[in-house]
Structure 1
Amino acid sequence: MTSAPARFLAALVVAGFAAGAGPSRAAGAADAVQSGSASGLPVPRFVSLKSDRVNLREGPSKDHRTSWVFQRAGLPVEITAESETWRRIRDSEGAEGWVLHSLLSGRRTALVAPWWKQGPLPLYAKPDAKADVVAQLQPGVLGNVKTCSGTWCRLFGAGFDGWMQQDKLWGVYPNEKVD
């Protein structure tokens, strides 16, 4: 797990992620999707943090030690397991732990290529690499996912609204369709 100062900085500014740490779903994982034992929803799946303060615990109860505190509402996380009112999550850096389900939201958000080191990425007016570029987004920018076609997602946030290639986002799976 990353040191506390580095994790704090990442949670606040959402930058400086490890190189090459692309989307977390492994090849063929789409076949491994199961229903959660508590919710009946697919596992794994992406959700976002509902609160500005979310304790990440070592196990599925308040008796377990808090290993990290997220401090930014809206960050996308991946649910990897369920246990009654607890969800095991993974963040964009690969850190894992348990959080109360009530601290998670079904609202879909995504981080712009946190693994990318070559500068800003284009946001297009239409889902086409030949379309006009409406913004250049830095790696780690947090946006709301409006829709995804399986190859492109419409992403919006403070001062931007447009389309980005789906494989440049952490918070949606490759080929996933979001309505």
Structure 2
Amino acid sequence: MRMPVFRAGLLVALVAAMTPATGALADSTETAAPAVILRSTGPVTGLPLPRFVSLKTSEGNARRGPGLDHRIDWVFTRPGMPLRITAEYEHWRRVEDAEGAGGWVHYSLLSGNRTVLVIEDLAAIHARPDPRSDVVARAEIGVVAAILECLPDWCRISREGQRGWMAKTSIWGVGADETID
């Protein structure tokens, strides 16, 4: 039986994950975003900061500040892509991707459904959370998968009907010490 290999797509996923909205330089008259103090919980939701979410839609504008009047810096184009929320302001969330790029996104574009991004090429997906267990599949760098649960060093993921365990060192979208039931 052939082992499945999950592919990121035709484009390199980390490049395709977001595309520049414009090549223009920022206007020096643009208003700066209001100061947001990072704390252990968000001032709007009371949820932990930072925390991971995923992109709900196939397109999400990341703006320079929290509001429609701010310039769009990036357009996220991968539904399900994991993002880390680092700040909150009214209906806006400051997010960043695995490379640290991002901006302010309206909360309606985000989902609490947890996903991970594979950051190691041909990362092994194991039958059990043990490096000596059978490898049931492999995933290319840039693959997005759903999180089913996480232990201190491993996460059980699902992609295209296949399930298995990946070492946290192979994925981005979950905290190093985070567990998920």
TM-score, normalized by the shorter chain, greater than 0.5: yes
Write the letter of the residue equivalent to 1:68. W
The residue correspondences of 1:12-161 to structure 2 (distance < 5 A) are 34-113=40-119, 116=120, 119-161=121-163
Instruction: Name the counterpart of 2:174.
Output: 172
Q: TM-score by structure 1 length?
A: 0.79
SS at 1:167 equivalent: helix
More helix by share: 1
Could you tell me whether the CA contact under 8 Å between 2:62 and 2:74 is conserved in 1? yes
CA distance in 2, matches of 1:11, 1:168: 18
How far apart in 1 are the matches of 2:91 and 2:104?
10
Bigger Cα Rg:
2
C-alpha distance in structure 2 between counterparts of 1:96 and 1:9, whole Å: 13
**What CA deviation, in whole Å up to 9, does each residue of 1:9-35 have, x standing for no partner?**
4217xxxxxxxxxxxxxxxxxxx9611
- Once residues 77 and 106 of structure 1 are traced to their aligned partners in structure 2, the CA distance between those partners, rounded to angstroms, is 10
Q: Distance in 1 between matches of 2:168 and 2:14?
A: 27
Aligned residue pairs: how many? 152
Cα distance 1:171–1:7, how it changes in 2: closer, same or farther (>3 A)? closer
Query: 1:28-61 CA distances to partner (integer Å, 9 max, x unpaired)?
Result: xxxx961100010000000000100101000000
> What is the alpha-carbon distance in structure 1 between the residues aligned to residue 142 and residue 167 of structure 2?
15
Q: Secondary structure at the match of 1:34?
A: coil
TM-score (norm 2): 0.78
